[in-house]
């Protein structure tokens, strides 16, 4: 069991994630905007934060910056879950301290698996894994371009 915080302004996503994660045995808390999430991260840091990027009051990137300032990023792991799928957003989120990144629409199982992995691995291990994945993706795209020629 872990303490999981869901920050999303979409009530349907909040309800779905609450159901999925509570059924897995986790303790769930939600925030409806970035401001609420940032406050909760300081007052009551969870083990995992599932963070939407586009939210009113304060966006997900700003929440990450705030968490860095208050040094709660060491204890809380962050899964960004967003409709924003651009490389720029992804890089920015990782640079700001996110540990994993999923884009909407998502399968409930993907979220469960991502949360389990984040709970099992350390921040450092997650980073190594991410870099390996990026290298693999890079290699694959190079191979593809060679084959296309």
Partner 1 sequence: MARILIAEDNAEIRTLVSSILVEEGHKVRVAQDGQQALDMMLDDAPDVLVLDIMMPQMDGYSVLKELKSSGIKEQMKILILTAKTSESDWVRGYELGAHAYLTKPFDPDELINAIEDLLGSTKEQLLVRREAELDKAQLLSRLESIFDSK
**What's the rounded Cα separation, in Å, for the pair 108 and 117?**
14
Continuous H helices in 1-149: 11-23, 34-43, 60-69, 87-95, 108-120, 123-148
Q: Which is nearer to partner 1, 30 or 78 (CB)?
A: 30
Give the largest CA-CA distance in the chain.
55
Q: Which is nearer to partner 1, 3 or 65 (CB)?
A: 3
Q: Does 14 bind partner 1 (CB under 8 A)?
A: yes
Q: Does 51 bind partner 1 (CB under 8 A)?
A: no
Which span (17-25, 50-58, 94-102, 122-130) binds partner 1, by CB under 8 A? 17-25
**What's the rounded Cα separation, in Å, for the pair 101 and 85?**
9
Q: Does 3 bind partner 1 (CB under 8 A)?
A: yes
Contact residue for partner 1 among 9, 10, 29, 130 (CB under 8 A): 29
Q: Does 11 bind partner 1 (CB under 8 A)?
A: yes
Q: Which is nearer to partner 1, 36 or 114 (CB)?
A: 36
The torsion region of residue 62 among left (phi > 0), alpha (psi -120 to 50) and beta comes to alpha
Enumerate binding residues for partner 1 (CB under 8 A): 1, 3, 6, 11, 14-15, 18-19, 22-23, 25-30, 44
């Amino acid at each position: 069991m872990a303490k999981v915080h869901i920050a999303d302004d979409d009530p349907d996503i909040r309800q779905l994630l609450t159901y999925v994660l509570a059924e897995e045995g986790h303790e769930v808390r939600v925030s409806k905007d970035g401001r609420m999430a940032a406050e909760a991260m300081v007052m009551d840091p969870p083990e995992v934060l599932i963070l939407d990027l586009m939210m009113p009051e304060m966006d997900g990137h700003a929440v990450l910056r705030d968490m860095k300032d208050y040094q709660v990023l060491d204890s809380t792991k962050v899964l960004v879950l967003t409709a924003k799928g651009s490389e720029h957003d992804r890089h920015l989120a990782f640079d700001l301290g996110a540990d994993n990144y999923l884009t909407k629409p998502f399968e409930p199982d993907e979220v469960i698996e991502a949360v389990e992995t984040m709970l099992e691995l350390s921040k450092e291990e997650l980073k190594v894994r991410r870099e390996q994945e990026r290298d693999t993706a890079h290699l694959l795209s190079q191979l593809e371009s060679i084959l296309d020629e």
